[in-house]
Structure 1
Amino acid sequence: MNNTRKNIALIFAGGVGTRMNTKAKPKQFLELHGKPIIVYTLELFQTHPEIDGIIIVIVSDWTDYMQELLERYQLSKVVTIVEGGETGQLSIYNGLIAAEKHFSVDAKILIHDGVRPLINHQIISDNIQQANLSGNAITTAPTVETFVVVDDDMVVRNVPLRKNSRLAKAPQTFILKDIISAHRTALQEGITNSIDSCTLMSQHGHQVTLVEGPVENIKITTPTDYFMFRAIIESRENSQIFGD
């Protein structure tokens, strides 16, 4: 265990991308300009000065390929690659167990989707700063449309005020001992498929606090998402070349 490392990124990439309609490879390994999506994501944490280590949770058959990518793109902060579980919750738990082996339980851990590459250094810094203050940080975005809460019969039961509504995104940052405790309690209760870490922590008595992230912080799960990602990346590249 290395107590000097305080900020860990846990990059979750355990899915196989059924909604992407690709049979050749999982969605996190789809490429843009020859670079896999997950590498775009990892490079943001690799180059952030406050991130001390990275743990990757990956679909088991692609571990060797992931190792090749680490070497090719010089992602030196990656401490270990962990095989995913049967659900997203169990995959993240596998990553937390690995984090517990390598880092102090007082370290902060930023849980992030491998297919969410459109964040920036500022939102990583904001997560760390907020977690220093309150013990956790959930990246959010404002809702730009009204949404409704329905029952099992698809009858509207509540229309939350937009000013009080946020979309929960990632990274989601916690003290390692807090989030791993919530996961262990959930498993003891027979919960194995919680939606996300924010939900799990809230359900187990933790008051979670928010930071606001960029609107373009999308999770790439469909072809439409991929095309949006490509358009944003190409727009950024063109801006660098030609100016605003």
Structure 2
Amino acid sequence: MNIALIFAGGSGKRMNSKSKPKQFLELHGKEIIIYTLEHFERHPQIDAIVVVCIKEWIEYLKTSLKKNNIEKVEWIVPGGETGQDSIFNGLKAIYENYSEDSIVLIHDGVRPLINAELISSNIQSVKEYGSAVTVAPVVETVMLTEHKNKVYKSIEREKCCMAKAPQSFFLKDIYAAHQKAISEGIHTKIDSATMMSDYGFSLHTVECGSENIKITTPADFYIFRALIDARENSQIFGI
């Protein structure tokens, strides 16, 4: 079984939206999270979807799922105090209902510019290597700095990449890592890939394009809108 775990538990303070969390902001009458979910809904290898959502917005999400014919969402679970806690809430729902040999694709609800090929590559990578961390090449110079903004040294771009999503693993492995973190009183791991690396798991990367952005700020939303409009225009005008 291949299950998508979609994290939509953030409040989106950097988006400066006072009315809605960022995942529920609309473009052309459709919420960002719906754009994201549609990729997993339409993918033939995805068997089920679990969404982690802000508790107060669960009913709103249910209405939106029905309106947009999203049928693979099996559970919507409330988020936790931290991102790590929220992901664990979703993993727990999956662990209680599916085989531990299932593949889990952990993805941001506000990362809607993915595609079917990336989802397929994540699944195949987990089957072959036990993990899939989506990454994008670094296209600018990376420098390490010390205190007082002093440059320590520059890093070869060819050896660097930016961690994106999905981040995918066998359920038994990612669930065990979360349990270990909880047993150690840790609740603030940055992301799943960091957690797995910290606990000794070997990670394999899957490359994506630069358009796989996380919509965090107003500027990100404008980029998202431009890319969606460009895709729609290419279909209409055959560009």
Question: In the alignment, what sits opposite 1:241?
Answer: 236
For residue 228 of structure 1, give the secondary structure of its aligned residue in structure 2.
Answer: helix
Alignment of 1:124-203 (within 5 A): 124-151=119-146, 154-203=149-198
Displacement of 1:152 after TM fit? 5.5
Structure 1 gaps, min length 5: 1-5
Question: In the alignment, what sits opposite 2:57?
Answer: 62
For residue 159 of structure 1, give the secondary structure of its aligned residue in structure 2.
Answer: strand
Displacement of 1:158 after TM fit? 4.0
1:214 to 209, 212, 217: 209
Identity %: 55
Give the distance between the partners of 1:224 and 1:163, measured in 2 at CA: 27
Does residue 26 of the first structure (1) align with residue 17 of the second (2)? Answer: no
Q: What is the Cα-based RMSD across aligned positions, in Å? A: 1.0
1:88 to 83, 95, 100: 83
Give the distance between the partners of 1:158 and 1:23, measured in 2 at CA: 41
Alignment of 1:44-63 (within 5 A): 44-63=39-58
Give the distance between the partners of 1:24 and 1:202, measured in 2 at CA: 37
Alignment of 1:96-111 (within 5 A): 96-111=91-106
Give the distance between the partners of 2:154 and 2:100, measured in 1 at CA: 40
Per-residue deviation, residues 102-154 of structure 1 (Å, max 9, x unmatched): 21110000000000000000000000011110111000000011122334654
Structure 2 gaps, min length 5: none
Give the distance between the partners of 1:143 and 1:213, measured in 2 at CA: 12
Of 159-168 and 143-152, deviating more is: 143-152
Give the distance between the partners of 1:87 and 1:182, measured in 2 at CA: 16
For residue 23 of structure 2, give the secondary structure of its aligned residue in structure 1.
Answer: helix
Give the distance between the partners of 1:183 and 1:155, measured in 2 at CA: 37
> What letter is aligned with 1:82?
V
> What letter is aligned with 2:42?
T
For residue 137 of structure 1, give the secondary structure of its aligned residue in structure 2.
Answer: strand
Give the distance between the partners of 2:93 and 2:148, measured in 1 at CA: 42
> What letter is aligned with 2:182?
L
Question: Aligned residue pairs: how many?
Answer: 239
Give the distance between the partners of 1:156 and 1:207, measured in 2 at CA: 31
Question: In the alignment, what sits opposite 2:218?
Answer: 223
Displacement of 1:187 after TM fit? 1.2
For residue 117 of structure 1, give the secondary structure of its aligned residue in structure 2.
Answer: coil
Give the distance between the partners of 1:153 and 1:203, measured in 2 at CA: 29
Give the distance between the partners of 2:219 and 2:37, measured in 1 at CA: 22
Give the distance between the partners of 1:184 and 1:157, measured in 2 at CA: 37
* Change beyond 3 A, Cα 1:69–1:152: farther
Structure 1-normalised TM-score? 0.96
* Change beyond 3 A, Cα 1:176–1:74: same
Give the distance between the partners of 1:59 and 1:41, measured in 2 at CA: 17
For residue 205 of structure 1, give the secondary structure of its aligned residue in structure 2.
Answer: coil
Give the distance between the partners of 2:107 and 2:147, measured in 1 at CA: 30
* Change beyond 3 A, Cα 1:148–1:14: same
